[in-house]
Amino acid sequence: MKILSQKQSLSSKKASDFILIGLGLTLVICGNAFAAGPGMEGKEPPKKYYDRAKEGWFWYEDPPAKVEPEEVKKESATPPAKQARPVPKMENYTMDDLWNMHPDDFQALLMDFQKKAVQYPTEHNMVEYYTMQDIARRKSAAFANVAGYVTQKYTSFDMNSTAPTVTPGRIAKTQMQNEEIQTTIASAQGDHALLFFTQQGCSFCDKQKNILKFFNDKYDWPIKEMDIRANPDIAARFNITTTPTLLLIGKGKSDYIPVSVGVASLDTIEQKLYRGVRLMDGKITPQEYATFDYQMGGGGDPKATLQNNLNQSRQKK
């Protein structure tokens, strides 16, 4: 009985061992399956570093071909529908509409009719275009006629009184201007003077001296010549850096006006002295710098009021 019981215990022990071994193999197989992951079925496991020592370009193996990603086909965007250009038609406008149309709008419409005639050069389209051109011509003539009438009626608008265009009038204007210039310079001889800045070796200064001799003989003005190297303080005070330079000063006045820099003609010196003297004496303002006395109050005076013309035109309405 003892021997039988021992045999039964041995057989049961072997059975349990077989069960444990089976469970272990099952776990190993499942573990390998999970380790491989999805998509790894039928593929060799990756080689270790030392197993790949004799692979690659230097062992006459081509690199693996790159797998190009599949191009995603772009859906062709439908282009927006092209809008038709508006085509002008003459029947859409009356003659009064075209005659009284704003100039900017009329010009744009005229160009539209021109483009229409160029695109479709038919007789009708050309007649429409030339109709627009004819209206523009007549409107221009009306403007010019009214402008001529107004300048004749309101004489202050007519520049012929101060700036004549005929030869006798232009000669008279030149004579009047020269008389004003010479009279003003001669009368200012006692209250004003010229500072003439020079320096040694200045050839331009020698030429300017000769011109100033004519000026001095004509007007007998006091002219003080000063070398900027010998008088650096005075040159710095008036900010003189170039020679020759002419400077206008007034007796008892702190203001001064440059007359010319470089060689200036006698006419230029006279004109600038005339304007400078009047400006320093307060007879004119910078807005009237080039205005002569005979032009004051007329069309050549920038500060003359024209309000009386506006009032007169309102009374006619």
Q: What is the dihedral of CA 158, 163, 167, 172, to 10 degrees?
A: 120
Note the pLDDT tens digit of each residue in 8-33.
454 555 555 555 555 555 544 545 54
Query: What angle in degrees, to the nearest 10, is found between the helix axes of 167-187 and 266-280?
Result: 60
Lowest mean pLDDT among 79-83, 237-241, 249-253: 79-83
- Return mean pLDDT, the chain: 82
The answer for residues whose C-beta is within 8 angstroms of residue 306's C-beta and 6 or more apart is 156, 157
Query: Given a cut of 60, is residue 6 above it in pLDDT?
Result: no
Could you tell me what percent of the chain has a pLDDT over 70?
A: 72
Q: Write out the two tokens for 222.
A: 């006091």
Instruction: Describe the strand order of the beta sheet including 245-250 as a list of residue ranges.
Output: 223-227, 192-198, 245-250, 256-261
Report the C-alpha gap between 110 and 123 in whole angstroms.
Answer: 17
The closest of 90, 99, 101 to 135, measured between CA atoms, is: 99
Position 28 scores a pLDDT of: 46
Long-range contacts from 308-314, C-beta under 8 angstroms, 24+ separation = 309/154, 309/156, 309/157, 312/154, 313/154
Report the C-alpha gap between 287 and 273 in whole angstroms.
Answer: 17
pTM over 0.85: no
Confidence of residue 108 (pLDDT cuts 50, 70, 90): very high
Position 71 scores a pLDDT of: 63
Count, residues in the chain: 317
Provide the strand spans (E) within the chain.
192-198, 223-227, 245-250, 256-261
Query: Given a cut of 80, is residue 282 above it in pLDDT?
Result: yes
Coil/strand/helix, residue 124: helix
Lowest mean pLDDT among 109-113, 180-184, 188-192, 295-299: 295-299
Provide the strand spans (E) within 9-97.
none
The closest of 162, 105, 106, 153 to 134, measured between CA atoms, is: 106
Please indicate whether residue 156 or residue 41 has the higher confidence score (pLDDT): 156
Position 76 scores a pLDDT of: 57
Average pLDDT over residues 235-245: 92
